[in-house]
Amino acid sequence: MSTLDWIVLFFTLLFIAVYGVYKTRGKKDLNSYLRGKNSNWWTIGLSIMATQASAITFLSTPGQAYEDGMRFIQFYFGLPLAMIIISVSFIPIYYKLKVYTAYEYLENRFDLKTRTLTALLFIIQRGLAAGITIYAPAIILSTLLGWNLTFTNIFIGCLVILYTVSGGTEAVSITQKQQMAVMMGGMVLAGIIVIQLLPISFQEALHVAGKMDKLNVVSFEFDLADRYNIWSGMTAAVFLFLSYFGSDQSQVQRYLSGQTLTQSRMGLIMNGFLKIPMQFVILFIGVMVFVFYQFIQPPVIFNQVQTEKLKNSAYASQFEALENQYKANFESGKLAYQDMLGAIESEETDRVDLIQGQIRAIKTEQNEIRDEVKALIVENDPAAETRDTDYVFMRFVMDYLPKGLVGLLFAVIFSAAMSSSSSELNALGSTSTIDLYKRSIKKDASDAHYVISSKAFTAFWGLGAILFATYASLFENLIQAVNLLGSLFYGTILGIFIVGFFMKWVKGRAVFIAALLSQALILFIHFRNGTGILGFVWDIGFLWYNAVGCIAVMLFAAILQPLVRQKAKF
């Protein structure tokens, strides 16, 4: 990057961190530290969006659109419905009980062991997710910037710990407003420049994207193994959102800081209706980058570090030969696209279909060449990472965007990592203090003591996240990794809350056992997915784990309640 890019990057990040510390300086009691001052609805809405919009969103989503089109947007179709349900059912109860965490309600409704179990499930899931939230962007950024991975993990983690420990919930909310401005401003600018850099007109770009199935916004095909279609988006994803926004403390803590119940509801609804357009923009940028690279030759592998290693290895001549094949393949594809656009303009439908088939054949050859290069990379370095979808967008940024804007886009990624990480650490500190330490370990300490313990737990989880990030390894696509991790636990957590809200006859012992059985069932389904048992094989997309886990808790609880009650009489 240029000197200007480095100045933009570091000034943006340091300003946000220092601003958060400055604005929240001074002595705080437990209420203001964990709940923050009374926030208005738009601050709550931006904070909720910033918490969800991690660096993974901005790194992985454009790459996913580049590879798979825009069908990922269907994942969010159920979000407005989930926000309405939470606004009507969840928030009023939290406000009535004046809780610090969502899990306090569960002791009031059931018993201490159910509250503790749910808090522990959250801590396990969110503690691991906090590590991925730091690691995911760090491994990409360290590669692109040439930084040491451990240093990058520590840099992101320490900045977050600094202002989150200092100012608590208020610092998180204040900094997230600046971070959202940086994130969305940077992405909108990037989108405008991508369109301006296209070597064809915008209308032609839409034709290319459409013919290559990149504008596949809605799919009505029902397939349990498909993660992204209208059915999973309006059913399975609704369960995920209900659990994430309704019972995950990293989100609950955002709207518990509202001035009133109405302000909290409005903030949540704002998120529900702005998140889809935001994701649409990010996905559409990825599609436009795809179109750009159909006319301007892309690298064989977007992870330049791995290709540089190949060039300096014993496989250099083989790599050069594959690069030449790739170049010839690209030129054939470019000519085919130009012919297709000419056929579209002259409305020669049959010719368009014929050329479209030719392009698909060329793409198949292109992917085969890429697979051969990836095989060489692994031969050269068996530990090398060959999945490069997450490098697509930032590789484009570094190669083609003007000076200054490159630094801003890197600031977008770092800001997103900081915003989501700060919410997670804030929530982990709150839950550890309120639901475990204050409730079961040291019950009668002073208010100041619990503020200190909350800061200590926040720092502890921050250091734990850095440590996890340092020794973690990528699996699959980054954005899918986070959603998978959440889906393993969210269904059970949501089921406990749904039973608490709507199945009034079920008591603590039944729901506790039901939650354990449900969690065991989800883990069994996941680890046997695709293999099955006793000749019965299933292939279920992980988004469905949320629905299965929630419904399983409800069914098990309903079945167990009369048995538990009967047993208790003897």
What's the pLDDT tens digit per position in 402-440?
Answer: 888 888 888 888 888 888 888 888 889 999 999 999 998
| CATH-assigned architecture of domain 3-293+398-564 | Up-down Bundle (1.20)
In terms of Cα–Cα distance, which of 416, 426, 427, 421 is closest to 122?
A: 427
Residue 129 burial (C-beta neighbours within 10 Å; 0-12, 13-18, 19+): buried
pLDDT digits (tens, 9 = 90+) for 180-205: 888 888 888 888 999 999 999 999 99
Tell me if 111 sits within 8 A of 427, measured CB to CB. no
- Report the percentage of the chain scoring pLDDT > 90: 33
pLDDT range class, residue 568, cuts 50, 70, 90: very low
pLDDT range class, residue 569, cuts 50, 70, 90: very low
Q: Please provide the average confidence, as pLDDT, over all residues in the chain.
A: 85
Mean pLDDT across 356-378: 92
pLDDT of residue 473: 54
Mean pLDDT across 43-66: 81
pLDDT digits (tens, 9 = 90+) for 375-406: 999 898 887 777 788 888 888 988 888 888 88
pLDDT range class, residue 338, cuts 50, 70, 90: very high
Mean pLDDT across 341-361: 91
pLDDT range class, residue 476, cuts 50, 70, 90: very low
pLDDT of residue 565: 64
Tell me if 467 sits within 8 A of 157, measured CB to CB. no
What count of Cα atoms within 13 Å lies in the side-chain half-sphere of residue 135? 23
pLDDT of residue 475: 47
Whether pTM > 0.85 for this model: the answer is no
Tokens of 444: 């009668």
Tokens 């302000």 identify what position? 263
pLDDT of residue 337: 92
- Whether the predicted pLDDT of 212 surpasses 80: yes
Q: Between the ranges 1-15, 77-91, 405-419, where is the mean pLDDT highest?
A: 77-91
Tell me if 37 sits within 8 A of 47, measured CB to CB. no
- Whether the predicted pLDDT of 516 surpasses 70: yes
pLDDT of residue 71: 87
- Report the percentage of the chain scoring pLDDT > 70: 94
In terms of Cα–Cα distance, which of 426, 83, 40, 488 is closest to 245?
A: 83
pLDDT range class, residue 478, cuts 50, 70, 90: low
Residue of higher predicted confidence among 510 and 149:
510
Mean pLDDT across 205-218: 89
- Whether the predicted pLDDT of 91 surpasses 80: yes
- Whether the predicted pLDDT of 372 surpasses 90: yes
Cα–Cα distances (Å) from 527 to 477, 492, 539, 544, in that order, read 18, 17, 11, 14
Domain boundaries, the chain: 3-293+398-564, 304-386
Which helix H or strand E contains 204, and what residues bound it? Answer: helix 202-211
The DSSP bridge partners found for residue 520 are none
Mean pLDDT across 328-355: 92
pLDDT digits (tens, 9 = 90+) for 13-45: 888 888 888 877 765 777 777 776 677 888 888
pLDDT range class, residue 224, cuts 50, 70, 90: low
In terms of Cα–Cα distance, which of 52, 69, 49 is closest to 286?
A: 69
Tokens 């208005």 identify what position? 40
pLDDT digits (tens, 9 = 90+) for 264-283: 899 999 988 888 998 899 99
